[in-house]
Structure 1
Amino acid sequence: MRLIIERKEVKISPDSTRVIAKFFFNGEERAVQLIKQVMELSKEEIFKLISPILQDFSKRHRNITQKLEKHCKKVEHQIRLAGYDPEKLDEYSRLLLGSYFTHEYSIESAAFFNPSIVEDIDQSNLERGQLRVIISFRAVGEGHVSSVVFRRALIDRYNNITVLPAGKYVDEAEKIRNGVYQKRLFIRKAQDEGINKDFLKAVDERLGDEFDYPQLKAIIIEKKAETTDARTLKQYNLILALSDSYRNITFSKDTDISDRVIFPISDLESKGIEDARFVKFTLDNGSCVYYATYTAFDGQYIMPKLLKTSDFYHFKTSPLHGKGAQNKNLALFPRKINGKYVMLSRVDGYNNYIMYSDSIHNWENPILIQQPKLPFEFVQLGNCGSPIETKDGWLIMTHAVGPMRRYSIGASLLDLHNPEIEIGRLSEPLIIPNTEEREGYVPNVVYSCGSIIHNGELIIPYGLSDYSSSFATVNLELLFDRLKNGEQ
C-alpha cells in the first residue's frame, strides 16, 4: 500500500496581539534627565497621566501595576542620580516612572513555528482514545528574537487535533534566580580547565564562599579591560557564557500554560532561544521529567543548553559541555541505554552523530551514524526531535536540505539496543513543502522539533516556512514497513 501523509487543516499562525511588558532603558544620561522631568510634575499632573495608562494597559497585561513597580525599581540608581530618594516616592510617581521605562513587545509578531510535542502531565477526565498534549513553539518577534511558548491540545480517537485557545495574557517568569556557585568547587574546576591564575586569584580574594553570576561578571569585565591577549580574552568569554547559563525560572500558579513565555534572560541568549526539543524522559526509578535541548544565541555565538521541568511552572536551565555539545540539533533519547544518557547531535553541521554519557551535561566522543546519501539530503541531514521508542527500534524523524535549499522531513529507524546501527531510511521525504506551505519568513522549509505516536499513527507537528505551524499524520504500520524494506 502507498504511504499516505494526511495534512491536518489545523494551522497556528503568529498573533501580534500577544504582548509582554518589557523593561525599556535608553541610556543612563537620558534616564536621569527623564526622571527629573517627571518629578517636576505636580501630584495632580502625575495622577492625570498615570490613571488612563493603568486603565488602558490593565486590559492587556495581568497586574500591570506590579510590572511598572518592578521597572521603577530597576532605575533606583538613576533616581538617586537625579537627586531623589526612591524610598520616599509616592505610589503614583513610582508607577508613572515605571511606565516611562516600559515598552510592549509582541513575542510572536513575526513567526510561530518549529513545534515539539509531548504527552501532558494531566491525562484526567478523557474519553477512550483521547490524549492531552503540550506543544512548544519557537515564537519570533521584533529584531528576530526567539522565545519558547506553549499551547495545550487534545487529540481524539481519530487523531483529530484541537489546539486550545491561548489565554488573554502573556507572562514572563515571576521569579528568575541566578545559579549560586560554591567558590571552592568553582576554583577547582577552573584550575582543571587551565583558566588564568590571575583571574582565579581575584575570585578567591574578592568573592565570598558563595557567589552568583552578576558578582562574577563584574570581575571578568574588569579583568578583560586589563588584557589584549586573545587566548585570555577567549577564556574570559567562555567563563561568562558558561556561568550565565544557570537559571531557575518560576511562573505564577495562576497562569495558563499558553500564558507562559520563556524569553531570553541571559547575555548569551540575548538574540534568542531557538528550537527547543522537548522529551518526556524516564528516570532510573521509573518516574518522569521533561527535558528540552535548545540553542542559545547572542547574535554571534551559539551554545547548546538544557531545560528541565517536572510541571511546566518551574524550569531550570544549564549549559551542555563537551566536544559533542557543539552546533545546533542536539536531541536527547527518552531514557538511558545500557546505563548511559544518549544524545543525537550534528557537530559538523551536516551529518548525524550519536553520543553516550554518564552525565546529562557533558558530551564527548560523537560517533558518526548518518550521512547525506540521497539527493534530497545532499546539503545536510539533521534530526527533527528526540527519538521515539517503538518495539521495532528507535524512530528518528530527520530534516534534510536539498536543491534550492529546500527543507523536507524524512524518517529513519535505529536499532533498539545499539542505536549506532541504522535499520532503514526512507528513500524519499515524508513531507515536502507544498504550494500552500512554501511561502513564509524563510521559503521552502518544513521543520519539526518533535513528534508523537497515538492511535496507530505518527503525529508530526511542523513549521511552515518558518512562519506558522500545522500537523500531519502517517500510518505507523505502513511507515515501518517502508523503513524496514528501504522503500517509500
Structure 2
Amino acid sequence: MNPSPFFNRHPLYLRPDPSRVIVRPFRPAIEPRDFNPVDTTRANHIVARVLALDEAEAQSVLAGVLDNFDDPQRNLLEIFESRAAEMEQVFAGHAAFSPTQRSLIGAYFLHEYSFEAAALFNPSIVPHPDQSAVEPGSLRFILSLRAVGEGHISSLTFRRGTISGEGAISIEPPVRLACLPHISRRVGDKIDLAFAADSNLSQRVIFPITEAQANGIEDARFVAFKDHGRTTFFATYTAYSGRAIRSELIETRDFQSFRMVPLTGPAAVNKGMALFPRKIGGRYAMIARYDNESLHLIYSDNLLEWSLGTPILRPEYPWEFVQIGNCGSPIELDEGWLLFTHGVGPIRRYSIGAVLLDKHDPSRVIGRARLPLVQPERSEREGYVPNVVYSCGAMKFGNRIVLPYAVSDTFSTIATVKIDRLLEVLLPTAE
C-alpha cells in the first residue's frame, strides 16, 4: 500500500500509555469544566468535612492516600502542600489547619489525569539543543508529540532520541510519572512557564492553561529557527477551546523554559501554520492554510502578526482533492525548500506528499510528488481516527530526511529517506 519503497520505516512504535499520569488541580465548579471559577461553597464544604475529622482519623486517611500512590519518584506531601497554598484564599473563613489537615485538604483538590490514554500522535522533530556526549557522527534529537486523554483533551509531550551516522534510530523510554510546569509570568494569554531543572524531558507535559486552549494544545510544528547565529525553537500549534480554534506560538531555547503567545492577523484564525527555519529577504515567512483548502506563502515583519499571502499550492491529484496542508516547516536543501504536505482524499483518507519550492522565491513550486509518499497501510487503518497518516515536522540529517509520522491518529513511528532518492520523485512541474 506504500508506493514509495525507498522510505525506510524503522521498527519504532510510540504508543499511548494509560499508566503515564500527571497530577492536576481539581476545581469544584458550578459546571464540570476546569476553566470555570471555583464554586467556593462546595470547596468550603469539603474543607469543613476534613476539619470535622479528629487528628487520628485524619492521619489515617492521609496515610491511606500516601500508601495508595506510593512511588519513590513522587513527593506527594510537597504536591499536597503546594495545592493547599493555591487554594488558601478560598479557605479564608476557616481556622488554621494542622499539617495533617493541610496535606489532606491539598489531596482533596487534586486528581490524576492519564494524558496519553487515548492517543500519541502527530510528531515533529528537531535537533536537541544539547549535543554533549553524543557519539561522533550521531545526533541527539527531540520529538514533540500530541497526547490525548479523557475528554479528547490534547497536550504536548516530548521524547529524546539519537540517530547514528549510519541512520540507526533509538528513542529513550519515557518516565511514567509526568509533571506540569510552573507559571512564572502571565499577562492575559501570554504565558511564561518553566519545568524543574532536574525533570526528565519525557516527564514534561504542557497541558492547556488558558480558556482558548481548554480542549487542547494540538499539532505543534517545531522548527529550529536560526537568526544571527542564535538558534531558537519555535512551534506553531492550534489552541482549541471546545468551540473555536486559533493559531498560537511557543518559544524555547532549552525545552525547560517556554513562552506561549497567541498569533494575530487574518491568517492566524485557522490551523496548520508552519514557520520557515530562517528569515527570507529579511522577513519572517510562513506556510499557512487559512482557506481550509490550499497552501499560501505569507511574510511578516512581526513574528506574532500574520496577514494574508500568496496561494502557492492547490489540490491537484485525486489523493488530495478535499484539501491539502503542510506536514511541518520547510526544510532547506541545496536544491530548494523541501515541504512535506498532507492531502485528504476519498473517505477522508490522509496521505503524505512533498513539494520542492524555489530557494530564493518560495512562492514558486519547482517540483511536486504526483503520488503519495506515505499513505495508510491496510493493516494499520484502524485507530482513534482511522485511515490517516500525518506528520508535524521532519528534519534533515546528513544525506537523509528523518520523517516521524502518526498512524491512524493513535501511535507514531519514524521513517528515513535518502535525499537524492526523494528528489527523484519530485517531478518538474509545468511552468
TM-score range, shorter chain: over 0.9
Q: Which residue type is aligned with residue 173 of structure 1?
A: P
Q: Which residue type is aligned with residue 24 of structure 1?
A: F
Q: Which residue type is aligned with residue 21 of structure 1?
A: V
Question: What is the alpha-carbon distance in structure 1 between the residues aligned to residue 108 and residue 357 of structure 2?
Answer: 56
Gaps (5+ residues) in structure 2? Answer: 30-38
Question: What is the alpha-carbon distance in structure 1 between the residues aligned to residue 108 and residue 136 of structure 2?
Answer: 53
CA contact (8 A) 1:410 1:429 kept: yes
Partner of 1:198: none
Count of paired positions? 417
Partner of 2:312: 369
CA displacement at 1:74 relative to structure 2? 3.3
Query: Counterparts in 2 of 1:58-69, with a 5 A limit?
Result: 58-59=70-71, 62-69=74-81
* Counterpart among 263, 270, 274 of residue 218 in structure 2: 274
Q: Which residue type is aligned with residue 59 of structure 2?
A: F
Deviations 1:261-293 (A, max 9, x none): 00001111110000000000001x211110000
Q: Which deviates more, 24-33 or 425-434?
A: 24-33
Q: Which residue type is aligned with residue 13 of structure 1?
A: R
CA displacement at 1:314 relative to structure 2? 0.6
Residue 43, structure 1, aligned to residue 51, structure 2? no
Query: Counterparts in 2 of 1:232-381, with a 5 A limit?
Result: 243=188, 245-283=189-227, 285-381=228-324
Calculate the aligned-residue CA RMSD, in Å.
Answer: 1.6
Query: Counterparts in 2 of 1:121-136, with a 5 A limit?
Result: 121-136=129-144
CA contact (8 A) 1:171 1:260 kept: yes
CA displacement at 1:17 relative to structure 2? 0.8
Question: What is the alpha-carbon distance in structure 1 between the residues aligned to residue 74 and residue 281 of structure 2?
Answer: 48
Partner secondary structure for residue 421 of structure 2: helix
Partner secondary structure for residue 376 of structure 2: coil
CA contact (8 A) 2:19 2:176 kept: no
Partner secondary structure for residue 474 of structure 1: strand
Q: Which residue type is aligned with residue 259 of structure 1?
A: Q
Q: Which consecutive aligned stretches of 4+ in structure 1 deviate over 4 angstroms post-superposition?
A: none
Query: Counterparts in 2 of 1:396-435, with a 5 A limit?
Result: 396-435=339-378
Alpha-carbon distance change, 55 to 177 in structure 1, aligned in 2, over 3 angstroms: farther
Partner of 2:26: 24
Q: Which residue type is aligned with residue 432 of structure 1?
A: Q
Deviations 1:128-185 (A, max 9, x none): 3311100000000000000000000111122121110112420000334212xxxxxx
* Counterpart among 146, 150, 154 of residue 142 in structure 1: 150
TM-score normalised according to structure 1 size: 0.83
Alpha-carbon distance change, 422 to 485 in structure 1, aligned in 2, over 3 angstroms: closer
Question: What is the alpha-carbon distance in structure 1 between the residues aligned to residue 177 and residue 73 of structure 2?
Answer: 6
Deviations 1:329-385 (A, max 9, x none): 000000000000000100011100010011100111321110001110000000000
Q: Which deviates more, 451-460 or 424-433?
A: 451-460
Alpha-carbon distance change, 60 to 431 in structure 1, aligned in 2, over 3 angstroms: farther
CA displacement at 1:9 relative to structure 2? 1.1
Deviations 1:392-439 (A, max 9, x none): 000000000001110000000000000000001100000011023211
Alpha-carbon distance change, 42 to 479 in structure 1, aligned in 2, over 3 angstroms: same
Gaps (5+ residues) in structure 1? Answer: 180-242
Greater fraction of residues in helix: 1
Question: What is the alpha-carbon distance in structure 1 between the residues aligned to residue 59 and residue 421 of structure 2?
Answer: 68
Q: Which deviates more, 246-255 or 47-56?
A: 47-56
Task: Mark the structure with the bigger radius of gyration.
Answer: 1
CA contact (8 A) 1:138 1:148 kept: yes
Question: What is the alpha-carbon distance in structure 2 between the residues aligned to residue 270 and residue 365 of structure 1?
Answer: 27
* Aligned-residue identity in percent: 43
Question: What is the alpha-carbon distance in structure 1 between the residues aligned to residue 47 and residue 302 of structure 2?
Answer: 50
CA displacement at 1:249 relative to structure 2? 0.6
